[in-house]
Amino acid sequence: MIRVRFLGTAAARPTVRRNVSGIAVQREGESFLWDCGEGTQRQIMRYGTGFSFAHIFITHAHADHLLGLPGLLRTMGLQGREEEMTVYGPVGTEATLHAAVRLGAERMAFPVEVKGLAPGRRVDFDGWAVQAFHAEHGVPALGYALVEEARPGRFDVEAARRMGIPEGPLFGRLHRGEAIEVGGRVISPEDVVGQPRPGRKVVYSGDTRPTREAVQMAMGADLLIHEATFGAGEGRRARETRHSTAAEAAGVAARARVRELVLTHLSARYSETPARLEEQARAVFPASRVARDGLELEIGYRD
């Protein structure tokens, strides 16, 4: 199961009900953060996501997306953490990220490495990856996508039985893509295993104007998390500040044919009236909603 927990959904500054940017993602026991605005460590405690993150992916070097790093890392050290942490961000922002990591700590209690990522680069894990893509925000900025490898096709048990294949280890070998021999006959995986099934995809836009790269990365995604700093009537302001409106975010979702769109990074002016943004997005892409702090989504397989 993939779980996405919104730790902060406000733009620029926190409000009474919304902290600034932070998203915790858990996949089959592994977890990481997308962005770490100030107060993220308290949101982690508040919503019970735990502190076991080994990777933090920062979209860009604006304060509301990274100033939570000093406190979070300090807390982890005081809790006795020894495992290494890696903080990623756009190429060119490494010095800023290093400064944030070191702020307030005479020495780090555990190793922290900072790495710059260029658009198109990916960080590979076992069976999945986090891939960086270009975001348009007037400064070096990235969006990120959790992309799983394709899964093996469905195993046709009845077909295997008709071929006289004994149940047990041979079934497993075929499902893993190995040919086997039974009674002098060579049986290929294609004889009993269907077409590969797509893995899951979760995409986070970061702060950005709507872009072709976001549409391409989000194509067919199970979940698109897109910033929606502004609403209708604020298009000029969105363009000036390199942000998106709710309707523009919905346009990205519609073009990418995603399953669901969740809007985040709301301006304080919409903090108490998020339904306005939701309505505007749904007029373009019906499967839209606005995130709130603490919202948890579970993304299962489609089949």
Residue 19 main-chain phi, psi, to 5 deg: -90, 170
Strand partners, 57: 34, 88
DSSP notation for 25-55: EEETTEEEEEEE-TTHHHHHHHHT--S---E
Residue 91, Cβ density class (10 Å: 0-12 exposed, 13-18 middle, ≥19 buried): middle
Annotated catalytic residues are 64
Distance, CA of 30 to CA of 129 (rounded, Å): 12
In terms of C-beta density within 10 A (0-12 exposed, 13-18 middle, 19 or more buried), how is residue 171 classed? middle
Single out the residue of 62, 88, 40 nearest to residue 208, CA to CA: 62
Separation CA 81–CA 78 (nearest Å): 7
Cα–Cα distance measured from residue 65 to residue 37, given in angstroms and rounded to the nearest whole number: 4
Closest C-alpha among 113, 100, 96, 199 to residue 152: 199
Burial class (CB in 10 A: 0-12, 13-18, 19+), 47: middle
Cα separation, 229 vs 284, whole angstroms: 17
Question: Which residues does 129 contact at the CB level (< 8 Å), separation at least 6?
Answer: 122, 123, 146, 147
